[in-house]
Structure 1
Amino acid sequence: MAKSSRCVSSEAGVDDLRARVQERLDGLSRAEQKVARYLLNMPQEQLVFATAEELGQHTGTSDATVVRTARKLGYSGLPELKREAGRALVTTVAPATRLEQRLASIGPDLERAMATVFTEARDELENTLAALKLEDVRTAVSLLSHAREVMAFGVGGSELGARHLALRLNRLGRRARFVGSTGFRLADDLLLLGRDDVVVIYLPGRALPELEVLLDHAQVVGARRILISERRLAKQFAPQLDVALYAAGGAGRVAAESTSALTLTDLLVHGVATLHETQAVETRNTLTSLRERLLRK
């Protein structure tokens, strides 16, 4: 008999966690061992939505013990542990099933949903900030500020970040365009890419088939390349990138996976604005004037 998607996701998600627990269990306190065993036996579709406080209550420990356990298992914290579980769900569970799991896990309790959404968003932003390197941010800002044109690429959940970058840069008076094409249609958008351009690629936690072609072509024409994604993809494509910026996120969560990417985009746009202050102010005045005229029509 074929295994259900829930069973498959659970098996795939616990492999890394099981290895970490087996390797480090003896170095944990009794309370931490209790948490580790609970995490190991917990269904992954429930783990990705659990807060440190809830896990502390279920194990008879505390939220601080839960966080400490995650770190002693080699994760940066509970959010990273949950993201690894969420990544397993992405590769093994259909989107509709993940939605069912989210609804079943949190239920109709809006108070719990509110706490979950804001906790996830805060955790993602804190993890993104902790992983950011100032020198990488400066490099990205410099590339964007000197670009003839910026091509912001993103599809699916990553489209929002790419559209946001293109819009914000346009409002500074900088040339930018959003590209969300895939397959053959992407070829037409790549034709306009030139030597003095910059490609900013927004990716979720998985690579797209188009990514290799996009990066290869950008490299051939001499366009600079920035990736905003998770660490695994940044390492995988590092030789083809000028800079990679980490944006925490992941599927199987209530908070949007684009939360960190959008915030990081705002940081980059602010950096560009400070280098082109006069142009930014003049463009904003023009935008305001055009809006006022349109409102009078």
Structure 2
Amino acid sequence: MTETQPDHLVASVRAVLPSLTPSAQVIARLILDDPATVARSTITELSANSGVSEATIVRTARMLGFSGYAPLRLALAAAAARAEPDRLVPGDLGLSDPLSDVIAKVTRSEIEALSDTAAQLNPDQLDTVITAAIAARRIDIYGVSASGLVAADMAQKLLRIGMSGHAFTDVHSALTSAALLRKGDLAIGVSTSGETPDIIEPLRQAGRAGATTVAITNNPWSNLARTADHTLVSAGRETSFRPGAMASRISQLLLVDCVFVGITQRTFATSEQALKLTREAVSDYMAEHRPRPRS
């Protein structure tokens, strides 16, 4: 794992939390709950406060991409200095919150999810995925539940520019299609946790068939990410009133939009014509079936 940058350190820790050992999770949760206090604590103080050994703290820092605890402290201090008020630990929604607070907190959470996703998005990795998509004979996108909606959104966008993209939200259909892929095709698995068997197995099957595989997930250490050739990392903080599906959907859609725009840029001559034709087809239909005003 490459060293995590301060701008998205907390989002990165949240993403890999499920994959850490129990003792490393203790330190990770302290970082998520109160990063400024961790940044001010010496390793001896943090060990005393957490009940975790100094050696485990060092190993945890290394798991998070740092050479030791000191660089982790510096990164946390930098993140805290750059953050807006309450940026690192956004307030959760409460049962008695007025709708004005609901609007503000949901809006802030979605903005932060988009910002964290953009900060973690590696342009070179995105470029590789775009290149593979343009060259692909066909593109399979696998997703279930809310991730299935993201898969369907991507397939619909590809259809608008004349590309062969198919969304599969049922594991049996996904496995059937994946088995028929071949070298040069592209398979994309969408899963917030990265641990959904219904997504991992079709992506694994697609890889065995020779296709290039991509994971869209919150967890870059997940089994889905390990299965894929390339990973695009989304972000989103799950809370009592924001389940994983809600927290990550908007950031996954951002990744889909970045891939789509990149494809459209590079295939503009054909994409522009396809967009024009599909737009006209829908417009003509709507004009023909628009209710006429009564005389």
Q: Tell me the TM-score normalized by structure 1.
A: 0.65
Residues 1:213 and 2:192 aligned together: no
Please identify, of 163-172 and 16-25, the stretch whose mean Cα deviation from structure 2 is larger: 16-25
Indicate conservation of the 8 Å contact 1:169/1:176, yes or no.
yes
2:140 maps to 151
**Change beyond 3 A, Cα 1:230–1:282:** same
What amino acid does structure 1 have at the position aligned with 2:236? G
Residues 1:180 and 2:169 aligned together: yes
2:264 maps to 273
> 5+ residue gaps in structure 2?
1-21, 50-72, 290-295
Cα distance in 2 between the residues matched to 1:262 and 1:23: 28
What per-residue deviation string (whole Å, max 9, x for no partner) do you get for residues 95-136 of structure 1? xxxxxx95xx15351110011011101111111111111111
**Change beyond 3 A, Cα 1:107–1:231:** same
TM-fit CA distance, 1:197? 1.4
Cα distance in 1 between the residues matched to 2:122 and 2:231: 10
Q: Percent identity?
A: 19
SS in 2 for 1:205: coil
SS in 2 for 1:258: helix
Cα distance in 2 between the residues matched to 1:26 and 1:187: 45
Q: Which residue of 168, 173, 189 corresponds with 1:201?
A: 189
**Change beyond 3 A, Cα 1:213–1:233:** same
Q: Where has structure 1 moved over 6 Å in runs of 4 or more?
A: 21-24, 73-82
TM-fit CA distance, 1:26? 8.0
1:245 maps to 232
Cα distance in 2 between the residues matched to 1:125 and 1:22: 22
1:224 maps to 212
Tell me the C-alpha RMSD between the 2 structures: 3.8
Q: Which residue of 71, 79, 92 corresponds with 2:76?
A: 71
Count the aligned residue pairs.
Answer: 229
TM-fit CA distance, 1:185? 4.3
Indicate conservation of the 8 Å contact 1:204/1:250, yes or no.
no
SS in 1 for 2:236: coil
Q: Which residue of 143, 162, 165 corresponds with 2:154?
A: 165
Cα distance in 1 between the residues matched to 2:210 and 2:141: 16
Indicate conservation of the 8 Å contact 2:183/2:211, yes or no.
yes
TM-fit CA distance, 1:167? 0.6
What amino acid does structure 2 have at the position aligned with 1:28? R
1:291 maps to 282
> 5+ residue gaps in structure 1?
1-10, 38-67, 83-100
